Chains A and B, each alone.
Chain A
Amino acid sequence: MASKKQQELDGAQALVMTLDALGIEYVFGYSGGAALPIFDALETVKSNMKFVLTRHEQGATHMADGYARATGKPAVVLVTSGPGAGNTLTGIMTAQMDSVPMIIVTGQQVTWMLGKDAFQEADIFGITIPVVKHNYLVRETNDLPRIAREAYHIATTGRPGPVLIDVPKNVSQSPFTGDLDAEIDLPGYKPEKGFDIESASIEEAARLINLAKKPLILAGHGAMLSGAERELMELSVKIDAPVTSTLLGKGVFPESHPLSLGMLGMHGTAYANKAVCECDLLLNVGSRFDDRIIGQAHKFAAQAKIIHIDIDAAEMSKMIQTDVEIIGDAKTALKQLLPLLEKAKHKEWNDHLDGYRKKYPLSYKKQGGLRMQQVLDEIHELTNGDAIITTDVGQHQMWAAQFYTNDASFKWISSGGAGTMGFGFPAAIGAQFACPDQTVIAVAGDGGFQMTLCELATAVIHKLPIKILVLNNHYLGMVRQWQELFFDNRESGVDLVGNPDFVMLAEAYGAKGINIKRPADVRKKLQEALDYNDGPVLINAECIKTDNVFPMIPAGAALEDMLIEPPKYKMEKPVGST
């Protein structure tokens, strides 16, 4: 009986059955000619997967991304060939830069037309090689289950990342005669090595930590992905070391904890950056030393012994020369490290940093118009810092990172490495699908929101109670800030004159819209938005146009050259990095 049933399958059905068996919950996508057999299989195969029709393929990728960052599990993106596949590029790159698992299935022209410039043919296999963890162009129908299983395995193990499967139409619609349970065959991929850590490196790290007088822990996304929260807490308390986190590591160590210094880097807290400059030992747990946090490499933690824990060997000594390399899973490494560490107290060091904390607190003025910081600060208070926050990129993102402190992993969803505008809102849709009972807030600027706002339709249809917070200064604020500081305030390509009325726009899609114009109204209006749960609500906050984010380390400058407040002198153009 089973074999008869299997004979009747086509490739697309075998693919859908395999993805379902792997436990995929959501498929975000957009249909098209070359993907017809796969879309049909979504109807003909009984599966637990739910399909969400987006309004643009980029939106589908960010939704899958938001879903994955909220759950740790991959979702599937399903699109057609050519332009459909091309529109996924930014979303795939975003996932790759931030180590997010994702499976992208693209339809493709039939195999015998490939390379002949056929209708909607694009070499998406070749195009995506630099932005995926791995990809496939499937040529044999019977390979589909094995490839889908390999894609899932590659996407979710080791350092996670996106995997693309390009499926020509004849491959998906031909009869499937193979083994649905075909095993993976990946001789060049050994993620299990990440759990087998060289004990010599652990011992050397422990020796250095035990000698340290001014230790500092840097917690990155890798710590979160490995689920090392408990070990991280135990370790920092045991050796009495303060913890700073990267943008993507926000929440892995509770930011309300007395040992937390908050985020470091270009717009991180002054006390976190001061701690990096002055520490005598830096323990990096799962951060890749992004250029946004190191400033000038040779001046970064210059007085410190540096220990780097990373599951990806290729990250070792890429940006920073380290004293001890620990290649492997962060949780495993910390577990092995803990028993070798001596309990310590570093009162003087922590008191010294507390001095900085008091001297340079994150603050903002409540006079002179509505500031983004106030809106974020108040929504933080109203939600007890417990909402899932997604962001775009720019000033609103940095202020959200500063003022929406959080105490748990997987609640801060922001495009870090790629810096993708338009990411926040669709990512919030994915996160809300993943966590229907949680408050999800998409923090966006007026620029980024307009890049993917067509997904309002998706959010409305599914009645997702997302709070879309458009912090509207009618500018591309971060670029304008740089032009003010480094280009004699010559504004070029930053004035978003012609913005729509966002409240009317939301209402046109069937969403609720709320305007905030006065600082005094913020709390009341935000509460109104939080109380509305019948679908998405858009809050348009009209903020002052020319505010700047501080502290700031100009790109390529050293952490010690951080600006706490607006400079009184004309600044040199940054050249070290973008």
Chain B
Amino acid sequence: MARTITTADKKPKPRPDIIGGHTLSMYVNNKPGVLMRICQIFARRAYNIDSLVVSQGRDPRFSRLTLGISGDPAGLTQIILQCDKLIDVIHCYEHTPEDAVVRELALIKIKTENAERRTEILQIVEHFGGKTVDFSESSMIIRIEGASDKVDASVRLLNNYEIIETVRTGKVVMARGEQPT
């Protein structure tokens, strides 16, 4: 069934009352149900999980989790300790952009029926070091990667065109230097 594309991606509304934008990394057992235990801790203290990346670790018995979270900063230390307390969690750390490398990737699908606009879009993509990963007559998919603020900036600029959809992976972090992630 053909699908009519009508979504001109809405400009992101500023989110009120969000405190934080904290990034946590966890090293956990690679087992069913582990994520459920972790999510319950955040839900109970009214924390929102803004982004979540889970993947198998180098040792397949374990998984890496990176969570972007927001909520009342007063409870954050205790939440970290409560996550750390879970039997299935090997460790849980908070990271800041100063002590860790933070990266994410976005895929952005844009209408490109107008050739002139297409050129403009490609210039923006080039500026942000992005790539075109799919091209059709009516649309293209762009891949942008980098620190979250860079991805935010590119999406903000591309909002001047007709964005159909965006998909972001969410942040992944790795601690700098000797510090474990």
Contact = CB atoms under 8 A, between A and B. Distances in A.
B33 A134 contact: no
B81 A313 contact: yes
Contacts of A130: 40, 44
A438 to B, nearest CB: 35
Contact of B85 (A137, A187, A314): A314
Nearest to B59: A187
Contact of A314 (B29, B32, B44, B81): B81
Interface string A173-200: 0000000000000111100000000000
B87 A188 contact: yes
Contacts of B84: 313-314
A133 interface: yes
A314 B81 CA distance: 5
B28 interface: yes
B86 interface: yes
Interface string B88-100: 1111000000000
B78 A188 contact: no
A43 B91 CA distance: 43
Contacts of A318: 78
A314 B86 CA distance: 11
Nearest to B28: A188
Nearest to B85: A314
Contact of B89 (A125, A126, A133, A188): A188
B69 to A, nearest CB: 17
Contact of B86 (A125, A188, A312): A188
Interface string A98-121: 000000000000000000000000
Interface in B55-79: 62, 77-78
Contacts of B33: 125-126, 129, 137
A154 interface: yes
Nearest to B83: A314
A134 B44 contact: no
A141 B88 CA distance: 21
A137 B88 CA distance: 14
B37 interface: yes
Contacts of A188: 28-29, 86-91
B29 A187 contact: yes
A330 B29 CA distance: 30
A189 B87 contact: yes
A449 B165 CA distance: 61
Contacts of A312: 85
Given A126-B33, A187-B29, A314-B82, A154 B40 contact: no
A134 B62 CA distance: 18
Interface string A307-341: 00000111011100000000000000000000000
A531 B33 CA distance: 53
Contact size range, B: 20 to 34
B115 interface: no
Contacts of B78: 314, 317-318
Interface in A123-153: 125-126, 129-130, 133-134, 137
B1 interface: no
B87 A126 contact: no
Interface of B: 28-29, 32-33, 36-37, 40, 44, 62, 77-78, 81-82, 84-91
Contacts of A133: 87
Between A126, A186, A188, A189, the greatest number of chain B beta carbons within 10 A of the residue's beta carbon is seen for A188
30 contacts: A125-B33, A126-B33, A126-B36, A129-B33, A129-B36, A129-B40, A134-B87, A134-B88, A137-B32, A137-B33, A154-B87, A187-B29, A187-B62, A187-B90, A188-B28, A188-B87, A188-B88, A188-B89, A188-B90, A188-B91, A189-B87, A313-B81, A313-B84, A314-B78, A314-B81, A314-B84, A316-B81, A317-B77, A317-B78, A318-B78
Contacts of B81: 313-314, 316
Nearest to A190: B90
Contacts of A129: 33, 36-37, 40
Nearest to A126: B36
Contacts of A126: 33, 36
Nearest to B88: A188
Given A129-B40, A137-B33, A312-B85, 4 more contacts: A129-B37, A187-B90, A188-B29, A189-B87
A210 to B, nearest CB: 29
A314 B87 CA distance: 13
B123 to A, nearest CB: 49
Nearest to B44: A130
A186 B85 contact: no
Contacts of A125: 33
Contacts of A189: 87
Contacts of A313: 81, 84-85
A189 B62 CA distance: 14
Nearest to B61: A187
A129 B29 CA distance: 16
A70 to B, nearest CB: 26
A314 B77 CA distance: 8
A294 to B, nearest CB: 16
A129 B33 CA distance: 9
Nearest to B90: A188
Nearest to A150: B87
Interface in A284-317: 312-314, 316-317
Between B44, B62, B81, B87, the greatest number of chain A beta carbons within 10 A of the residue's beta carbon is seen for B87
Nearest to A188: B90
Nearest to A187: B90
Contacts of B29: 187-188
**7 shortest interchain CB distances as A-B pairs:** A314-B81, A134-B87, A188-B90, A314-B82, A189-B87, A314-B85, A313-B81
Interface in A458-517: none
A490 B40 CA distance: 38
B45 to A, nearest CB: 11
A346 B117 CA distance: 84
Nearest to A319: B78
A426 to B, nearest CB: 28
A566 B75 CA distance: 37
A126 B33 CA distance: 8
Contacts of A316: 81
